Structure 1
Amino acid sequence: MDKHHRLLVIIPAYNEEESLEATVDELVGVAPSVDYLVVNDGSKDLTERICRDRGYNYVTLPVNSGLTVGFQTGMKYALRNGYDYALQFDADGQHMPEYIDEMLETAINENADIVIGSRFLHVKKEISTRMIGSRLITVMIKLTTGKRVADPTSGMRMFSKEMIKRFAQDDSLNPEPESISLLIKKGAKVSEVQVEMRERQAGESYLNISKSIAYMARACISILFVQWFR
């Protein structure tokens, strides 16, 4: 790990009692020099108790506020504490900390504002409803920005100090493909690193098939139309 650049791993967590311990333990074991912050998003299960009993670095939101608010909370913390980079990292065990070093090296060496942990940089997407939606979002971003993003729906993203400041101070931004597209339009440099991701290790994703379709449709509409007025 680069000792001259401070990195904060932001772990939004909502009702992740079944997977949080394994996620944080693996992160600390693989990347012990990295700081992290668990953002407990008003969980109703034992997530906060686990954070407290295990001595994790965490903050708790009083009510469930959603991924955007949880992520922005982490970015505000990163800005206030002077971090050079921040990494969005899932609490459900899908993301693998083995790739953090490479993502940080890419951010530094390529002077990238955003580095995406991409499942599909050198690997073809399978045929499924979600991957068809991902392909469509890739096309939309390419049409509107000229930049090809192979895995626009990846939730493993690293952000530079400038991006930390933007996300911390602009409530209209969210950790979703439409904001990545908007930031590219505004001059942000995006790089990708090939990674592997596991299936969710415990619990259930809030994205079922119908919600996945709605999510993809909303992202495409925002990229194509809404952002032209921002």
Structure 2
Amino acid sequence: MSTLIIIPAYNEEGSIHSVIHAIKRTHPEVDIVVINDGSRDRTVQIAEATGLAHVITMPVNVGIGGAMQTGYLYALRHGYDIAVQMDADGQHDPEYLAPLLRGIESGEADCMIGSRFVEKTEYRSSLSRRIGILFFSWLISISTKKRFTDPTSGFRAANRQVIEVFSNYYPDDYPEVEAIVLLERLGFNVKEASVLMHSRETGMSSITPIKSVYYMLKVSLSVLMTLLRTRRRAKA
């Protein structure tokens, strides 16, 4: 099945080269598109210089939601069967693409999420991040009656039907949690597979303890709006 790796990137000149090469080294059969989200550094030049990825540059910084929707539109228009989201900072290990792809190729799931917590791994997160993950796991469980161990993971694979949904609408800003709720409410099957994630190769996370509170409030409201939209769609 034809597979596209979507890498949203904002000022990732320190890691984008190694990320692209690591993906092609472990999975030479996949294609890669880098969505340069208005970077002000040399992300574009370095990604293009690899000769291994197509690069799309957004005219301004549109955020992760807009960048990912652009990637899904690219996947849809070029006829890919599977689209995989991977971060540009080196946290997502391409060695663990295999279980995500198997879940889609076998028809086991419509969307596979790479989870750090299905099995015990070496990954360690901050207290604020762990609290956020537990909160969002609870929020999703009451919204979908289904438990997810790592709802904030951005390492995920989607089949062609999900690609079509996300090319029309992809949650904005902090989209991972809302995307799960949206798919489950639309009747898609979302599952998790155990993966190992690494620390960022360069840069720092934009989510601070203070921003975590804002993050939880904003995502909670977004999930509520998704529940209302999907309920109206079901009635229609």
Q: With structure 1 as the length reference, what TM-score do the two structures score?
A: 0.92
Name the SS for the 1:105 alignment partner: helix
Amino acid at match of 1:182: L
**Cα distance 1:205–1:7, how it changes in 2: closer, same or farther (>3 A)?**
same
Q: Write the distance in 2 (CA, Å) between the matches of 1:199 and 1:27.
A: 17
Name the SS for the 1:25 alignment partner: helix
Over aligned residue pairs, what C-alpha RMSD do you find?
Answer: 1.8
Name the SS for the 2:56 alignment partner: strand
Shift of 1:173: 6.6
Structure 1 segments of 4 or more deviating over 4 A? 124-127, 171-174
Instruction: Give the one of 57, 62, 66 matched to 1:60.
Output: 57
Tell me what 1:130 maps to.
129
Moved more, 152-161 or 115-124: 115-124
Shift of 1:71: 0.5
Amino acid at match of 2:30: V
Shift of 1:53: 2.5
Tell me what 1:178 maps to.
178
Q: With structure 2 as the length reference, what TM-score do the two structures score?
A: 0.89
Question: What count of residue pairs does the alignment treat as equivalent?
Answer: 225
Structure 2 regions of 5+ residues with no counterpart? 230-236
Shift of 1:123: 2.8
- In 2, are the aligned partners of 1:115 and 1:190 still within 8 Å (CA)? yes
Summarize the alignment of residues 97-108 of structure 1 with structure 2, pairs less than 5 Å apart. 97-108=94-105
Shift of 1:215: 1.2
- In 1, are the aligned partners of 2:143 and 2:227 still within 8 Å (CA)? no
Q: Write the distance in 1 (CA, Å) between the matches of 2:143 and 2:107.
A: 23
Tell me what 2:232 maps to.
none
Summarize the alignment of residues 1-230 of structure 1 with structure 2, pairs less than 5 Å apart. 5-55=1-51, 56-123=53-120, 128-170=127-169, 175-223=175-223, 225-230=224-229
Name the SS for the 1:116 alignment partner: strand
Deviations 1:8-62 (A, max 9, x none): 0000000000111111111111111111101111110011111233323211111
Moved more, 70-79 or 164-173: 164-173
Q: Write the distance in 2 (CA, Å) between the matches of 1:178 and 1:199.
A: 24
Q: Write the distance in 2 (CA, Å) between the matches of 1:85 and 1:44.
A: 30
Q: Write the distance in 2 (CA, Å) between the matches of 1:172 and 1:178.
A: 6
Q: Write the distance in 2 (CA, Å) between the matches of 1:171 and 1:7.
A: 19
